Amino acid sequence: MLLSRVTMKSYVLLLVLLQFLLCTGIPVHNSELESMADRGLGAALAQVNSVYAVRYLYRVTRGYVTRVVPMGQSTNDLLMTFGIKETECAKTSRSDPQTCAFRPGFFVPSYSCSSRVRVSAASAQVISLRCGRDGSSSSSESSEELQLLLRLLSSPVAPFRPQNSSKEETLSTTSWCETSAHSRYI
């Protein structure tokens, strides 16, 4: 009887420990989510560069998927937050911004962005995008903040395809996310 109580206590302790580990948000590698995040962030960055970039392209400094919202069969909305910083590549160069070096200096523009991107098997469509200056202590409605809210649900958008389109994924997690340890976790 004593042996069964000790055994039962150890099983309960093991169960509690496993439950705790599963609830702490320990990252689980999900290659499908990683691929969706890469495509979604690529579409959001393309939108940022087409709208915000004046002379130089922006490049992602960090990126996180904060939430995945299922929208239907193999279609998800990704809620993402990411940082961008101006690069040395001119906007007219048509270079891949993720291969461009960041512009040196203290006053180089950098922004924090949040977006909602609808990702399906065939396309990545930016639903909303909002960027504001990094380190701004003012409210979210300040005059320094760049804002863009795109409502593209009613307008068709061509699927996002990287410039060097091939059967392989051209954007990898480490290429778009400096802090890749936090990038794929929900």
Model pLDDT, residue 30: 74
Mean pLDDT, residues 14-42 taken together: 73
Tell me: the pLDDT tens digits for 81-114? Answer: 999 999 999 999 988 998 999 999 888 888 999 9
Residue 80 predicted with pLDDT over 50: yes
User: How many CB atoms neighbour CB 160 within 10 A?
Assistant: 21
3-state percent helix, strand, coil for the chain, nearest multiple of 5: 30, 30, 40
Residue 122 predicted with pLDDT over 50: yes
Domain regions of the chain by residue span: 28-136+143-161+171-182
Tell me: the pLDDT tens digits for 18-31? Answer: 666 665 555 556 77
Residue 164 predicted with pLDDT over 70: no
Only one residue has tokens 């009887």, namely 1
Model pLDDT, residue 1: 55
Model pLDDT, residue 137: 40
Residue 151 predicted with pLDDT over 80: no
Q: How far apart are the first and last CA of the chain?
A: 45
DSSP H helices in the chain:
2-23, 31-51, 173-176
To the question of domain 28-136+143-161+171-182 being in CATH 3.10.450.200, the answer is no
Residue 125 predicted with pLDDT over 80: yes
- Is the pTM higher than 0.85? no
Residue 146 predicted with pLDDT over 80: no
Model pLDDT, residue 31: 78
